[in-house]
Amino acid sequence: MTADGAHTGASATFRTYLEEIVTRGELPVGYIEAKDVGRSLDEIERDEQLRRYRESLSNLILTDYLEFRWFKDGEKQQAARIAYVGDSGKLRPDFEGQKRTAAMFSAFLAQEPPIVGKPEDLAKRMAALTRSSVTLSRQPSSKTETVNRHCASSLKDSVVF
């Protein structure tokens, strides 16, 4: 997995996105879309970009590093929070939420990679990956190149003859 970072002065900060492609071998199992801490996941969930991701990516987690929302086939399955930002700005752990998050990640990682066996499946998979590529082509170029390489590899490795 790779994180895209930007440097400001002497300190490193994350950009407003971080997409992780989780693989088993060469096949993608799921995707993680991470936003800055404090960004409203409710707003992001209604955003056009995330709508396209939910349509094209069958196993997706949206997070701000404190809250995690799992989507399977476009529908929200679970949500959990590992911590809250306290009044002093310090993190307050949510121990029950941490347990729910661990269980959610177990379910996320247990998903099977999509396998294409019929021409119709291949057409659907290619359309979904194309939608993702178009969405990501509006992102900074290093991220787009990485995802485009992954999409090509994903198609090649998931087709069964």
The answer to whether residue 68 is domain-embedded is yes
The answer to whether residue 84 is domain-embedded is yes
The answer to whether residue 37 is domain-embedded is yes
pTM of the model: 0.67
Q: By mean pLDDT, which of 4-8, 33-37, 109-113 is the weakest?
A: 4-8
- Burial of 28 from C-beta contacts in 10 A (0-12 / 13-18 / 19+): buried
The answer to whether residue 146 is domain-embedded is no
Range of the domain at 80: 5-114
Non-local (6+) Cβ contacts of 158 within 8 A are 27, 113, 114, 115, 116, 125
Crossing angle between the packed helical segments 119-136 and 48-56, to the nearest 10 degrees: 160
User: pLDDT tens across 68-100, in order?
Assistant: 999 999 999 999 999 999 999 899 999 999 999
The answer to whether residue 151 is domain-embedded is no
The answer to whether residue 125 is domain-embedded is no
The answer to whether residue 147 is domain-embedded is no
The answer to whether residue 145 is domain-embedded is no
Count of the separate structural domains present in the chain: 1
Would you put residue 136 in left (φ > 0), alpha (ψ -120 to 50) or beta? alpha
User: pLDDT tens across 117-137, in order?
Assistant: 778 877 776 776 676 666 555
In this structure, what token pair is assigned to residue 115? 């396998």
Beta carbons of 39 and 64 less than 8 angstroms apart: yes
Strand partners, 152: none
Average pLDDT over residues 6-15: 31
Non-local (6+) Cβ contacts of 62 within 8 A are 32, 33, 34, 35, 41, 44, 45, 50, 68, 69, 71
